[in-house]
Amino acid sequence: MLFIASSACGQASNNKGESRNLTFNRFPQEQRVELQKISSLPHTLAFNLFEHDNRLYFNSFETGQRLLYVYDLQQRALVDSMFRRGTNECEALLPFSAGILPNQIVWFFDPMLARVTRQQLMSDNRQQKANMCKQYELPQGYKYLQLADTNTAYAVKDIQMKGKISRINFQTGAETPLFGTFQNKPAGLSEAAWHNANTGALHFSPSKQIAVLAKTSLDEIEIFDLRHETSITVKGPEQLKPSFKQISTPDGDFLDLTKENRRAYLLSGQLTDHYIYLLYSTAFEMTDGVDYGNIIHVFDYNGNPVKKITLSAKISAFYISEKAKSIYSISPVDGTISKGAL
């Protein structure tokens, strides 16, 4: 049997507060995708890649004094850049999370400065003047964040977290912990260290009603239904049990995550109308390129594994176009933008 599950597969329950656990050991389908180079960029490490109006947007940690770059798929060239690097108003240092809202507002989150910055795109897809930028200050400690709309964010901390995720209201500043705490803590670990072990990148569905936590030290994801406050935890296919080592510091309890049996979901992921796509690394140590990989795991919204995609090259960020049945990706090695057929 593919699953050992706490309940039968099907539509997610609407019972408020309910959670389910699924375990699997293989994907029912496997697909190999050949990536074809379409352009080269300056060396860049990007973890977010998204599309709007036939243009790709990606954040950059290395390209230059701008943080978000715009690549035109028809021109096959960089055509614009947004947000200056710095600590002044509407600037940032670390563009960790980024995205675009349905009303053409581009945003990114800087955990170092605890700041969300957003800017409206004009109808011709060029950015507005800098004075149209808006900025929100957040409490310290949030690591991964997604915007639901211009007033609401959902975010994850790696320490001192009261819930698995928090809802943040920008207007009132209220922080609401959601979905309880992580269970089954191993003996010898503090609550803070166990929370740190279960954190990871947060991704949103296009409807902004489903969030997925892809854990960065376990082959495990959690799917949150934000409307009904239910969740599904999915573990597999390797089901390894990492032997965490706690590291206590004045800032909190952390974990040594470079153990040989570590598996990690990386920062890049995408939720479409139908499926969950998550970049997965099989690297054991940091020297093996733990921040990028060539495997994408695909799930449906009920937590069922759909297929495993193996790419012909390692990437750090990707974008899926289900309509065109294509994947676009960025290589962290040489900045290559590639396209593959799904």
Using the predicted structure, report yes or no on whether residue 317 has a pLDDT greater than 90: yes
Q: Rounded to whole angstroms, how far apart are CA atoms 189 and 194?
A: 6
Using the predicted structure, report yes or no on whether residue 289 has a pLDDT greater than 80: no
Torsion of CA 332, 337, 340, 342, to 10 degrees: 70
Using the predicted structure, report yes or no on whether residue 10 has a pLDDT greater than 50: no
Q: What is the pLDDT of residue 204?
A: 95
Q: Quick: pLDDT tens for 62-113.
A: 656 788 889 999 999 999 888 888 899 888 888 888 999 988 899 989 999 9
**Token output for 160:** 């001192």
pLDDT band at 18 (very low <50, low <70, confident <90, very high): confident
Q: Rounded to whole angstroms, how far apart are CA atoms 272 and 323?
A: 10
Q: What is the pLDDT of residue 7?
A: 32
Residue 125, classed as helix, strand or coil, is coil
Torsion of CA 196, 199, 201, 204, to 10 degrees: -150
Q: Rounded to whole angstroms, how far apart are CA atoms 123 and 121?
A: 7
Bigger pLDDT: 229 vs 282: 229
Q: Rounded to whole angstroms, how far apart are CA atoms 68 and 46?
A: 10
Q: Quick: pLDDT tens for 164-179.
A: 999 999 999 999 999 9
Taking alpha carbons only, the member of 230, 203, 229, 232 closest to residue 216 is: 203
Torsion of CA 50, 309, 209, 264, to 10 degrees: -90
Instruction: Answer whether 5's CB lies under 8 Å from 234's CB.
Output: no
Helix (H) or strand (E) holding 118: strand 115-120
pLDDT band at 3 (very low <50, low <70, confident <90, very high): very low
Using the predicted structure, report yes or no on whether residue 154 has a pLDDT greater than 80: yes
The residues pairing with 342 across neighbouring beta strands, listed in sequence order, are: none
Average pLDDT, the chain: 85
**Token output for 61:** 């940690």
Q: What is the pLDDT of residue 261?
A: 58
**1-5, 37-41, 92-96, 293-297: the lowest-pLDDT one:** 1-5
pLDDT band at 34 (very low <50, low <70, confident <90, very high): very high
Helix (H) or strand (E) holding 195: helix 191-198
Q: Rounded to whole angstroms, how far apart are CA atoms 138 and 142?
A: 8
Q: What is the pLDDT of residue 15?
A: 53
Span 308-315, average pLDDT: 95
Q: Quick: pLDDT tens for 110-120.
A: 999 999 999 88
CB proximity list for 326: less than 8 A, separation 6 or greater: 320, 339, 340, 341, 342
Q: Rounded to whole angstroms, how far apart are CA atoms 284 and 262?
A: 6
CB proximity list for 171: less than 8 A, separation 6 or greater: 151
Q: What is the pLDDT of residue 320?
A: 97
Domains and CATH numbers, the chain: 3-9+24-341 (2.120.10.30)
Question: How many beta carbons lie within 10 A of that of residue 249, not counting itself?
Answer: 8
Bigger pLDDT: 117 vs 127: 117
Using the predicted structure, report yes or no on whether residue 12 has a pLDDT greater than 80: no
Instruction: Read off φ and ψ for residue 73, nearest 5 degrees.
Output: -70, -30
**70-79, 111-120, 295-304, 329-338: the lowest-pLDDT one:** 329-338
**Token output for 227:** 């409307």
Q: What is the pLDDT of residue 132?
A: 74
Bigger pLDDT: 9 vs 33: 33
Q: Quick: pLDDT tens for 182-211.
A: 988 888 888 888 888 888 999 999 999 999
Span 202-231, average pLDDT: 94
Q: What is the pLDDT of residue 11?
A: 37
Residue at token pair 């978000």: 68
